[in-house]
Amino acid sequence: MNILALVGSPRLEGNTDFLVDQALAEAAELGAETEKIILSQYDVKPCLGHDECSDLDSCVQRDDAAWILDKFCKADGVILATPVYYYNVSAQLKVFMDRNYFLYTHKRKSQARVVGMIVVAEVEGLEDTAQALKRFIKESFDVEKDSILEVHGYASRLGDARSNGPLLRQARELGRQMVESLKVNG
Ligand SMILES: Cc1cc2nc3c(=O)[nH]c(=O)nc-3n(C[C@H](O)[C@H](O)[C@H](O)COP(=O)(O)O)c2cc1C
């Protein structure tokens, strides 16, 4: 089984990145193959909105989104992780979500059987952000509600998540539950 994490924070080794590492480390210890893609490290251009995707064999944008979306579709489990930026996902994750529109118009969804969400805010906006992510998940995966696992919590400065024991444990638990869910669902 493999679990792919897409990290929306551009802050390397920041709170989101750290929590993702915890979830993936736990999953790896339990036998999963894991991969982390930090979206800001790649060329993922915004959707151009021409709305002609369904007439095309591939997206007109030539960048890293194609191979990232391919991995997104093929992974057994996917983690979507983001800091809260103005009550929503980060721009990096939103651009990726929009690029999934090409697949949406071709009726292609991720085959992942379990989805993890990791959302980190300084003070507020967790619920709005989680809602936005859940709507994306509903359109982009064929998973039941109980296969969508969430970790959200508060952290602000670099290193805050590292010293937040309960949040750290929740992230590890997310990794464990994703592996358990994949074992149960074949
Ligand atoms: C552009 C920007 C917008 C932000 N907007 C919010 C917000 O709406 N609500 C909030 O609680 N924190 C907000 N924050 C704080 C981050 O969510 C918080 O610092 C988080 O821990 C950053 O995670 P990271 O270390 O993974 O980048 C914002 C930070 C930035 C840089």
Question: Both tokens of residue 50?
Answer: 């021409």
* pLDDT for the residue 175: 98
CA angle 11, 121, 17 (to 5 degrees): 35
Nearest CA-CA partner of 26 in 17, 16, 37, 34: 34
* pLDDT for the residue 48: 98
Angle between helices 65-74 and 91-99 (to 10 degrees): 80
* pLDDT for the residue 185: 79
Average pLDDT by consecutive 10-residue portion of the chain (186 residues)?
98 98 98 98 98 95 98 98 98 98 97 98 98 98 97 97 97 98 88
**Which ligand 1 atom sits closest to the C-alpha of 16?**
26
Verify whether ligand 1 is closer than 6 Å to residue 20 (CB atom).
no
Verify whether ligand 1 is closer than 6 Å to residue 159 (CB atom).
no
* pLDDT for the residue 150: 98
**Which ligand 1 atom sits closest to the C-alpha of 17?**
26
